[in-house]
């Protein structure tokens, strides 16, 4: 189950996020792009995901309140409504 984490400080590190989320269940993957204020965390089940969301949404990390939500797939209609490549 994938979680989207936003409003990260530039000081946030991958290891500390993994430790923070591991308190609520097993972290199976963590993607934190360089120079991004967002990350995605994959947990080992719905219960762990929900526990992490409830505990960490609004959590202060390096002086910033985290925004923690369940990740949702992008809808195909978003691309159709806002194409980046002209359709011929």
Q: What is the pLDDT of residues 5-52, one digit of tens each?
A: 999 999 999 999 999 999 999 999 999 998 889 999 999 999 999 999
Q: Which domains does the chain have, with CATH numbers?
A: 2-73 (3.30.70.330)
pLDDT at 78 over 80: no
Q: Do 14 and 35 meet the contact criterion of CB atoms below 8 Å apart? A: no
- Please tell me the number of Cα atoms within 13 Å of 81 on its side-chain side: 5
Distances (CA, A) of 73 to 20, 66, 67, 77: 24, 20, 17, 11
End-to-end Cα spacing for the chain = 38
- Mean pLDDT across 41-65: 97
Predicted structure pTM score: 0.79
CA-based angle 10:14:18, to the nearest 5? 130
């Amino acid at each position: 189950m994938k979680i989207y984490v936003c409003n990260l400080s530039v000081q946030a590190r991958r290891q500390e996020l993994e430790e923070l989320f591991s308190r609520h269940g097993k972290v199976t993957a963590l993607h934190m792009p360089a120079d991004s204020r967002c990350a995605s965390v994959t947990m080992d089940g719905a219960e762990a995901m929900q526990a992490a969301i409830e505990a960490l949404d609004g959590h202060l990390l390096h002086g910033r309140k985290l925004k923690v939500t369940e990740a949702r797939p992008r809808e195909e209609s978003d691309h159709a409504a806002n194409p980046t490549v002209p359709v011929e």
